[in-house]
Amino acid sequence: MADYGAITMPPSDRALSRKTAIVGIGETDYGADYQAERTRAEGWVPPTEETLLTTAFERALADSGLKREDIDGITTSFTYGGPPADEVAKMLGVKARFAQANGNIMAGPLPVACAAIAEGKADTIAMLFAVASRSAGRLFGGMTHSTGGTPDPDEENRTPSSYYYYHPWGWSSQAAHWALIFGHYQWKYGVGEEDLFHVARQVREHAMAQPNAVMRKELTLEAYMGSRYITRPLHLFDICIVNDGAVCLIVRRADLARDLAHTPVDVAGWGHAKVKKNKMHVMVREQLRPQLQEASAQALAMAGVSLAEVQHFEGYDASSFHLINQVEGIGFTEPGTGLAFCRDGQMTVGGRIPTNTSGGNLSQAYMQGWSQVAEAVRQLRGEAGQYQVPGAQVSMTNLAQTDQTHPIVFVRGDR
């Protein structure tokens, strides 16, 4: 089990598989809001979490075809504070018999909501995530960035100031970890920075087909190599964007999800594994592979499908190389082959595993894994546009932090 304050993620129990389905999705205008913040034209008003989540909720409700009174549960996920869940329910005009703050990143919230429905606490839950980091000018690194977090009691010889940030060595953000991991990978497999370009380019090509994406300009090798370093050897385009936005997922009891506007997308399985000790060794030399293998095996077993049956993947590409960690670690390609795998077209439609088909965190929007669940839903509905995976029946998402990983398996439901 994974603990998120008072929220505990349920175990990978086959009895919970396919008991719930996602029946509605809503997202805000990532690209338009990003440009508005950059321009700051006269009269521009910065968005708040409340205004963003209201937009996402109304769009998800319309997408589902449900009525407001059909929603009897609310969960809220904010990166920085936010109003209590019961206040959000009142603000949205929802009479919720279940209202709960539910983590923030897509590492536990969906399984928790699924378990709540299975336990009879609600029939239909609107799950809301919102963040307004860009408009607020929040920083994600550097000497002014607070490490935050609570020391991890499971970590041997932990640094008392933070659970994975180490300021004395200049590590004030996760980007420093990924840079060290990629540096070791370069040494081990003989690859260069120009090889990593193919990941950023592929994800950008997917985003270019999405009117809602933040980054839609073609990315060339010259532009990539000419961009500034964020943390050497990672360039600007290797790191996720910072934008405002919100996502709403409407999750319903599976037996009530069959006669709605869209084909339901069943939540079939989930898993979780984390590094317990020797964290630096596991992150850098093993690239989190043991945890990725363990957690994905849990999720697949719960779902009753094999890895070979997974047709689409949405990985947490907070950095380009972190995505390769996941593609290799889960087993879509062998260790050391991920960059060539991407270069050769195996991570887009027509390849082995179309990945981050709406542009991911690198180019579409940084919604901490939530927008990638929305893309999995579109793929399984057959609504993903230019990069639709033909006949998609099984999709996997994965939220990988530096020291743990949380995969979820989705299957196309019955009408």
Q: What is the percentage of the chain residues whose pLDDT exceeds 90?
A: 78
Query: How confident is the model at residue 274, as a pLDDT?
Result: 94
Query: How confident is the model at residue 285, as a pLDDT?
Result: 93
Give the whole-angstrom CA distance, residue 159 versus residue 175: 18
Whether the pLDDT of residue 305 is over 60: the answer is yes
Whether the pLDDT of residue 356 is over 50: the answer is yes
Whether the pLDDT of residue 127 is over 70: the answer is yes
* Mean pLDDT of the region 144-155: 44
Q: Count of residues for the chain? A: 415
- Give the confidence band of 148 by pLDDT, cuts at 50, 70, 90: very low
Residue type, 14: R
Give the chain's radius of gyration (CA, Å): 20
* Mean pLDDT of the region 69-85: 89
* Mean pLDDT of the region 302-311: 98
Which is more confident, 2 or 14?
Answer: 14
- Supply the pTM of this predicted model: 0.93
Whether the pLDDT of residue 264 is over 80: the answer is yes
Query: How confident is the model at residue 158, as a pLDDT?
Result: 41
* Mean pLDDT of the region 162-171: 52
- Provide the mean pLDDT of the chain: 90
Query: How confident is the model at residue 277, as a pLDDT?
Result: 87
Residue type, 86: D
Whether the pLDDT of residue 304 is over 80: the answer is yes
Query: How confident is the model at residue 150, as a pLDDT?
Result: 41
Give the whole-angstrom CA distance, residue 62 versus residue 71: 12
Cα dist. 34→57, 220, 317 in Å?
Answer: 20, 22, 19
Give the whole-angstrom CA distance, residue 135 versus residue 341: 37
- Give the confidence band of 386 by pLDDT, cuts at 50, 70, 90: very high
Give the whole-angstrom CA distance, residue 378 versus residue 263: 10
Query: How confident is the model at residue 138, as a pLDDT?
Result: 59
